[in-house]
Structure 1
C-alpha cells in the first residue's frame, strides 16, 4: 500500500473490506453461526471490518456486526446478509468526515471474492470510486473483442475456463535471490509482463 502515497497508482486512498471471525467450539451461545469461509466452515462470531488507508496510515472505520437469523428473530431485528449490510454502509459512508474534501476518482475499494457482488460494485460506481475485487472463478466474463463484436448473450464463460483457454504463454519461474534483485532480473520480469499484456490485447 506504500504506492498509494507516492503517486505510482491512480488512487491515493483505499477502502479495505474484509470479514473477521472469532472461533467458537460449538453453536451453543448467542449470535453464533456456522459460516462458509472459503475452503471450509467456521463456527463463531462474525463481523466485517472497514478500514481507510491514506498516506500509509490505517484508519479503522466502525465495523459491521453480523447477526444470525435466530438472533434477529429473538431480538426483533431485521435480518440482512453481510453484503446487504455493506451496501447500506457504503451508501451512508461520508468520506468527507474522515479525509475532508477529496476527488472521488482517487478512491479505490478493495475486497476479496466474497464481495464480488454487482450491487456493491454499482454503489461504488455511483460514488465515482474505483474498485479492485477478486473474481469468483464461476463469474462469467468475455474478451474485449467478443464484447465488441458478438451478441450480448454469446461468448460468455467462467473466469477459470477463460484463463485456461486463453493462456498462451508458458509458465516462467522467477527466483528472487536473498541478496537482492539484479537489473537483469527486472528485465526478465518486464519482458514477461510486456508479453502478457500483448497477449491480453489480442484475446478474442
Structure 2
C-alpha cells in the first residue's frame, strides 16, 4: 500500500490537483472540466485565467477523445489516456498523454514546432489561415486546437513522443498558463 503514499507525494511534488487516467468519453470530459472548474472557483481564481485554463483543457481533452489510438499494450486495446492539471503559485500546467500512430509523429512534430516558432501575431495569422482553408482531417479536426492552446497560453507547447510498439507512440503535451 506504500504506492498510495508514493502517488500522493508525487502529486504534491508536481503540484497536481487533478489526474484522470483511463478511457476518455464526452461524459468523462465533462466531469473532468467540472471538477477543475469547482477547484478554481474554490480558490477564487481570476475569471480571465479560468477562461484560458478551461479553453486549453477543452482542446487537450478533445484531442484525446478524437485522436487517441487503440493499442494492445494498454490492457484491452482501449483508448486509454491521461490528463493532469497542476497549479503552482505562478502557473497552471495542463498535461495530456495518449497513444497515437507512429506514422503520424513526424507530421504532429512539424505542426507543433511551427506553432512554437511563431509569435503572437504569427499565431493569429496561422489561426485565420487555418479557418479560411477549412480542411478537416479524417477525424474531424482542422488543426486549430494546438494553435488555440498556444494563443491562450502565450508560451511554447511542450511535447514528447515515446515509442510504445512498432506502430504506436505515446504523445505527451503540456501547456502552461501564467497566473500572474
TM-score (norm 1): 0.23
| Structure exhibiting the larger radius of gyration computed from Cα positions | 1
Q: Which has the higher helix share?
A: 2
